[in-house]
Structure 1
Amino acid sequence: MGLDSYYNSYDYLFEHKDSIMKFFNRSINNQLGKTKATLIFYDVTNVYFETALTDLECGRQQMDFQDRLQEEVQLAYESGELDAACFDKEGRLVPGQKTDDFIKKIQAQKIEYLRMRGPSKEHRFDLPLTSIALVINEEGIPIDFYVYAGNASEFKTMAASIESLKQKYNVKESIVVADRGLNSAANLKMLQSNDLGFLMAQKVSNLDQKTTKAMFDPEGYVPIIRQGEEVARFKVVKDWTKKGKRKAEDTKCTLVLTFDKKRQKRDLAVLEVWKQLVLKKQAQGIKVKPKSSGWASIAKTSEKTEARIEGIDEETFEAKRRLAGYAALVYKNAPNCQDNDAVPDGRLAAAYHELNQIESCFRIMKSHLGLRPMYVRNSNHIKGHILICVIALGILKLLQWKLNKSGTPLTISEIIRALNSATTVPIKSGDELMFLQCSRPQNIRKGLERLSQEELKAELAKRRKQPNQLEILFKTVGLVPPARLVNLKEMGRCLGVRLTTEEAIPELIKDML
């Protein structure tokens, strides 16, 4: 089986992506004993490619672009956006005001090219990117994913993802949990129109004057006590209006203001680091552009464009110091839920903090499952590659869920380390094919780089005393770990498959013998 065959399999995966994900979700729901997700976690990341040129620079359109373009043309004709005068005898678009506006609309949708440069999550602005929107359930298991151009806006692609999710899985009366990067009045209104609730972070730096005053007012806060000490507090503001660019986008919801002492300490420490960084760059004579975030936001310059740093913007610095420790959430249940006016309880407040699960999912796919860098260029192959990574992530998360349920929890890193240790070597013993367990060389410092020699020895000694993690994995999924040396039939019994003849062994293994 050559490399081309593997690449060709990506075409099959792309073609059947929706049916594969639907089957995967049915299987997961059967395992979990669930019929619908009450909380849906949504976030977007991007991945980079091992190439310097974008699809635009290469002149490489998405494989399905012509079909999607034809669909858009047909819809525009049926809606009256384009009339018969916009087409020639062969049905091609002719130049004109209407067709020019239509082409600009298509270009704004970012559907022609996939690998494009954009704001990189990993600061790889020099390489083309592809954006991935991932949807997971409360257990951190993927429900679906969507792939967009690397220069597509997260704000604008969310509506397309949610609409597709609703159509494929009939998702409704669920709460979508997302970070503040996706919090816009238009998106909140869109979720409500799709019969979904929302729980999202809200920036406290751009609250209106009345709300900001209420946030700093200690009256009305409910303390959160741990071990007899107040560590945080929260205040609920009902019927708060999230204002949009247009009046029609305004959305009434519940605003939850929070203050956390641990967060305050961290925020103040970050500000001090920024301050020292600005002073260092001032001494170096570095120029900066005015920015609203990051260390450059507290840099003082005399120009509205790029200019030399003149020092610390004390007014901005003090405003950020005052906001240290404060955060906010906006919440509203699905429109048709009976408890629509209920104040978010501890479960919902905790639900937002579970959003870091989706960040963990992205890290797992990038670091353990080979999500990036990508080496494929065909847009169908790119989506097929992402599908494999998402399914692999789902299997890992399901395995982790089963381990937790059985009372033998393991981290994803521990699961992967245990699976990597499950290696065998095929050998011939007379006329019989045998399998000998062997171990791979391991980097014992992986994940423990900051430990001293003595601490490393203590950690490794502790691990040796723990139960064999590979045996735990076998037991959790109802299998029996093989002995050190087994024949073909015994190996099949341990793996729960039928391997009764050598013909069942791939040609690759036979070539090794």
Structure 2
Amino acid sequence: MYVRTTKRENKSGTVRYLHLAHNEWDPVKGRAVPKVLFTFGREDELDRDAIRRLVASLSRLLEPGQALEANAAPGLDFTGSVPFGGAYVLDHLWHQLKIDKIAGRVGQPKRGRPREMSATERVLFALVANRALAPSSKLAAAEWITHDVHIDALASTDDDACYRAMDWLHEVKDDLEKQVFDEVANLLNLEVDLLFFDTTSTYFELEEPDEPVARDEKGNRQDATGEGEGEGDQGPDGADAAKPAGFRTHGKSKDSRDDLPQIVIGMAVTRDGIPVRVWSWPGNASDQTLIRQVKDDMRDWTLSKIVWVADRGFSSDRNRRYLRSGTDAYIIGEKLRSGSPEVKQALSRQGRYQDITGNMRVKEVRISDTERFVICHNPEAADRDRHTREQLVAQLTELIADTDKLSDFKRGELRGKITDKPGLNRYLRTTPAGKLRIDQARIKTEENLDGKYLLRCSDPKLSAEDIALGYKALLEVERGWRDMKQVIDLRPVYHRLEERIRAHVLLCWLALLLVRITETTTGDTWPRIRRELDRLHLGTFTGPTGTFQQVTTPTKPQQDLLTKLGIPAPKQIAGLQPAPR
């Protein structure tokens, strides 16, 4: 396809006409002949703006690099293109949060000559961008930075520089997290009243766990009551949490991989889903003890009063006592099936529910002078619970039908198989004679729990509605873990040194922070934003006078994203390198 010129004679002279044409084979003439597809009109009356719009429209049908190549001026060679928009946006957010300046401040020696941090800061940002845009190992990340993306002021790097940046990040972790949070609070006008905390685990495909190491932060720390931490606080599998252990060690996996060594990761998140801080612990760490260390670490940040929101795994009496020390308070879920006197008393109290949303009702009951109890009821969840129970009971009924005719051995064998299925085993009872029956009393008890959950709160001023909605927002932490594992790609972790593993978790946290700010500001999801921004490319052209880099023209969706984020459109020419004389 090409532009063809024809000439016509009239009274004023020769007139040239422009056509869009392509060649077709003419079997009669035995040669290719031009076929006109579109006529642009007279050359002297050409609407060049219309042609420019046509070229832009046709370019949208091509890949960004192909569009740059197609639009290259005569005499220029197109050498290639790389995605530009994602790293460009993340870099601007990085500078808006002043992380580049923070990196220049923290970790400097108190005496002597200051360290030059510009190169380390650029590599650190590139590693964070890699987690958000194309998660990979550090060796692959160095290749990605050098060949597959444009990072401002970082043309290339290697794996040694990446590891040095990670080692530095681990050294300055505490100061960096505190100063980054201060900038995030200023940028987004955060009011940290509710702080959500939860943990997850990530496993390593190792044959053996790490060698045990004695750790100062376990076993000796005193809580607010003066009691040591070791007694009564046991880790997964009944192991003493104060027992020395390697960093990658066996524990109760939240990824259902108890057969592999793991580490435990904790994260504090605001009600808007902004990740505030991240922690890493050995794989056998117990949730019952971790939140106390988290509270102590956050106390150093001199925040105003915090209401801690946590799930049922942190509801021990010692944890609750520790969390309500000082000015802080808590909202914690309670295990309805724990059988504790307080749970039984709360569920037995009569009273009316108050509708707070379309699918939530709450009722507050007073059974303690130091804590408030709020029962939450979700009618939709109650219907799901009832339907699930009916299916389980029907399946169990079918399994135990006619078992009275079986021998004691066969009946015991079936009983053992059902025991391995907690959902079914919950509704099974065995008579004194060894017969298998449906536990009708258990069914009736479960009916009373359908769609309900119980909350404890130590704040006397929060309304029951605020308590319920505050706990419901704990889903933001779960969404953070989901994005950390799926979007930021926490796993697999390729490192073996504890310091590098901790630094890897910090890189994922920084990437999640930039991602969540982008989502909060634009109201869109990161996968869709990333896909759109990756279509903004940077092409490299060479000519007789040198080399230059040109950015594709931003599309309307790309312009809208940049406008919402308050980021200026990129310059069309990103770099010029004159040819050597």
Q: What TM bracket, shorter-length normalisation?
A: 0.5 to 0.7
Residue number among 332, 357, 362 corresponding to 1:234 in the alignment: 362
Are residues 1:186 and 2:318 paired? yes
Distance in 2 separating the partners of 1:502 and 1:18: 45
SS in 2 for 1:205: helix
Are residues 1:390 and 2:509 paired? yes
* Aligned position for 1:432: 547
Deviations 1:291-346 (A, max 9, x none): 9965443344689xxxx99464433233212211222111112xxxxxxx335243
Higher CA-based Rg: 2
**Structure 1 residues 114 and 30: alpha-carbon distance in aligned structure 2, compared to 1, 3 A threshold:** same
Deviations 1:144-177 (A, max 9, x none): 111111121111121112111212x124521001
Are residues 1:272 and 2:394 paired? no
Are residues 1:262 and 2:380 paired? yes
Spell out the pairing of 1:282-297 with structure 2 (5 A cutoff).
285=414, 287=416, 294-297=423-426
Distance in 1 separating the partners of 2:532 and 2:539: 17
Gaps of 5+ in 2: 1-156, 229-238, 402-412
Q: Does structure 2 conserve the Cα–Cα contact (< 8 Å) formed by 1:254 and 1:343? A: no
Q: Does structure 1 conserve the Cα–Cα contact (< 8 Å) formed by 2:382 and 2:450? A: yes
Root mean square deviation of aligned Cα: 3.7
**Structure 1 residues 273 and 133: alpha-carbon distance in aligned structure 2, compared to 1, 3 A threshold:** farther
**Structure 1 residues 37 and 300: alpha-carbon distance in aligned structure 2, compared to 1, 3 A threshold:** same
- The amino acid across from 2:574 in the alignment is L
Q: Does structure 2 conserve the Cα–Cα contact (< 8 Å) formed by 1:180 and 1:202? A: yes
SS in 2 for 1:233: strand
* Aligned position for 1:222: 354
Distance in 1 separating the partners of 2:516 and 2:578: 33
Distance in 2 separating the partners of 1:269 and 1:33: 44
Q: Does structure 2 conserve the Cα–Cα contact (< 8 Å) formed by 1:110 and 1:149? A: no
Distance in 2 separating the partners of 1:200 and 1:280: 39
Are residues 1:31 and 2:173 paired? no
Deviations 1:61-110 (A, max 9, x none): 56xx57x49x98999xxx9x9xxxxxxxxxxxxxxxxxxxxxxxx97325
Q: Does structure 1 conserve the Cα–Cα contact (< 8 Å) formed by 2:381 and 2:451? A: yes
Are residues 1:43 and 2:158 paired? no
What is the TM-score normalised by the length of structure 2?
0.60
SS in 1 for 2:291: helix
**Structure 1 residues 437 and 272: alpha-carbon distance in aligned structure 2, compared to 1, 3 A threshold:** farther
* Aligned position for 2:270: 137
What is the TM-score normalised by the length of structure 1?
0.68
Q: Offset at 1:481?
A: 3.8
Gaps of 5+ in 1: 82-105, 242-251, 334-340, 404-408, 440-466, 490-499, 504-513
Q: Offset at 1:380?
A: 0.3
**Structure 1 residues 209 and 253: alpha-carbon distance in aligned structure 2, compared to 1, 3 A threshold:** closer
Deviations 1:248-269 (A, max 9, x none): xxxx200011222112112112
Highest relative contact order (Cα 8 Å, sep 6+), 1 or 2? 2
**Structure 1 residues 141 and 233: alpha-carbon distance in aligned structure 2, compared to 1, 3 A threshold:** closer
Q: Does structure 2 conserve the Cα–Cα contact (< 8 Å) formed by 1:51 and 1:128? A: yes
Q: Does structure 1 conserve the Cα–Cα contact (< 8 Å) formed by 2:518 and 2:526? A: no
Spell out the pairing of 1:96-115 with structure 2 (5 A cutoff).
108-109=241-242, 112-115=245-248
Are residues 1:318 and 2:406 paired? no
* Aligned position for 1:475: 563
- The amino acid across from 2:280 in the alignment is V
Count of aligned pairs between the two proteins:
396
Q: Offset at 1:240?
A: 2.4
Distance in 2 separating the partners of 1:435 and 1:45: 44
**Structure 1 residues 322 and 33: alpha-carbon distance in aligned structure 2, compared to 1, 3 A threshold:** closer
Spell out the pairing of 1:79-478 with structure 2 (5 A cutoff).
108-109=241-242, 112-167=245-300, 169-206=301-338, 208=340, 212=344, 215=347, 218-224=350-356, 226=358, 232-240=360-368, 252-275=370-393, 278=396, 285=414, 287=416, 294-300=423-429, 310=436, 312-333=438-459, 341-342=460-461, 344-403=463-522, 409-430=523-544, 431-435=546-550, 437=552, 468-478=556-566
* Aligned position for 2:111: none
SS in 2 for 1:40: strand
Distance in 1 separating the partners of 2:335 and 2:188: 35
Are residues 1:4 and 2:160 paired? yes
Q: Does structure 1 conserve the Cα–Cα contact (< 8 Å) formed by 2:383 and 2:451? A: yes
- The amino acid across from 1:287 in the alignment is G
Q: Offset at 1:423?
A: 3.9
Identity of aligned residues (%): 22
Distance in 1 separating the partners of 2:566 and 2:299: 35
